Amino acid sequence: MANAQATLADNSGLGDMAIVPYYTTNANYATGVDIVNTSALTQVVKIRLRRATDSMDALDFIVVLSPEDVWTGYIQKDGATTGVDPATIRFYSNDNSCTAPAMEAGGYFTMPDIYRLGAGEGYIEVIGMGAADSSQPISRDALHNSEGVPFACDRVRDNFRWGDNPADYGVNADPNRRGVISSVETRSWSTLATQTLVTSNYTDTGNVLKVSYFIKSDETGFEFGNNAVHFADFMDGASITNQKLGIFEGDLQGFDHPDLNGGAPFSATVEPTVGAAARGAYEPVRTAIGARAIVNDWSKKQTELFSVDTDWVVTTPGQYLMTNLGAYLASIVPGSPTTCGAGDPAVAYNIVTGANCDFRDIPMVARFKVLDREEQGIIIDEGDLVVSPQPPGEQVIDVLDQEVNVIVWGESDVLVPAKRISVPTPADSEFGWSKLEVTQSAIKTQAICDFTDLGSPLPVTCTATDTPVPLVGFVAWQRNFANLAEANYGRLVEHSYIVSSAP
């Protein structure tokens, strides 16, 4: 079954999937997320934080929203830091809505260590996994009472348990166990006392989710916010997955899914299930937000009283879907002999040389046209850009080599990224606009990869794609008064995009 054709929702629209282009915990910033269920159905929603460097899954969990419910939370650092990379990152919420797993005492999830390095900033996926009507047990257990407390979150969490092996779903599911049966069916206890199993069934989410975000610093007083980038008709069915196991254990109905390529592969491909979300969603996502260039304003003004600074965020979501993921994960383990190199998706991965593993758009070549407001400008090829601080004379060619990149235009950075890119501007100019043209990596054929069956290792198929580079992001502005912090303010302005190849 072909996947629904995801489309970019209007800025004021709703969707079944959303991308928050940037989160940060650097320099005492916190990033908040607000999710509204506008429907009369119970919604199961996946929240996943992907780190800036390579979009590995740094933290994910499930939120179950009762009809017309709102869930809010925020991510920040705790404890000592190394540079700008936090030693501990936590996602906090004082909301009562049920989550899977349960939050730790104190109302937070702690980011696991495995991909925490480099995850002080990144982007967030919010994916509607499925909807349940009022007759389903999970809906009754998740419903808030008059005091705003769900009826039975423990029983809600029962629905996201797992089987004994990667094939323990669908027709092979144990009829006496709790948890995920398929993308469209789960089981839980009717009561904790009787331990009688009841079944909940799910349909697709529908375009009913509204997601917004803010980035805030209590230290400086700066706060920016916006709607997330919403997608309509992202999935054509439900994709309920367990919140315990994943691809490391060979589980294709686990917490790694759904992702930006659609529903869980087990119910979509291995054992096709009626009503389950299909795979293949990343191609239309790339088409919906694909572009060859970004356009936005910049400013850099420094006086004795105040400064005006701007940072650009450029995010290329979904690059994790463009590698032989098993080999890539093995290659980033410290001391691992495994490598993941560029190549041709039509040729099998070479475990000896590492060839035919990496088909990502990144690293991307960047070319800036920078103008001030008097139409005076300069053109900057990729060799002119530097990653700061940088010794004199050194240049970085492949500038946009991360999935999330921050470009600093002012004398001071706004977002304090772990890796900052500086761009020259016309002499004596304090503001203007720029066009950033991006070109996919030319040393490889771009391709989308997916797990196709159970096995050890999990079989992967990579298929070439000619879709444009997916781009989301914004410019963050700050006006900073050195001696009057209460007068400081900031704002976000989304990028504009050029899609055609015309000049």
Compute φ and ψ for 155, nearest 5 degrees: -75, -30
- Domain segments of the chain: what residues? 7-287, 290-498
CA 317 to chain centroid: 7
Walk along the chain (503 residues) and give the pLDDT tens digit of each residue.
455 677 877 666 899 999 999 999 998 899 999 999 999 999 999 999 999 999 999 999 999 999 999 999 999 998 755 555 567 999 999 999 999 999 999 999 999 999 999 999 999 999 999 999 999 999 999 999 988 899 999 999 999 998 878 888 988 888 888 999 999 999 998 876 677 899 999 999 999 999 999 999 877 778 999 999 999 999 999 999 999 999 999 999 999 999 999 999 999 999 999 999 999 999 999 999 999 999 999 998 877 777 889 999 999 999 999 999 999 999 999 999 999 999 999 999 999 999 999 999 999 999 888 887 666 555 565 555 544 443 333 333 347 999 999 999 988 889 999 998 988 888 778 889 999 999 999 999 999 999 999 998 899 999 999 999 999 999 999 887 777 666 677 899 999 999 965 44
Q: What are the E-state strand segments in 303-382?
A: 306-315, 365-372, 377-380
Burial 223-236 (b: 16+ CB within 10 A, else e): bbebbbbbbbbbbb
Q: How many CB atoms lie within 10 A of CB 80?
A: 8
* Contacting residues for 100 by C-beta, under 8 A, at least 6 apart: 61, 62, 64, 156, 157, 159, 160, 243
CB 295 within 8 A of CB 435: yes
CA distances from 111 to 115, 411, 502 (A): 9, 33, 44
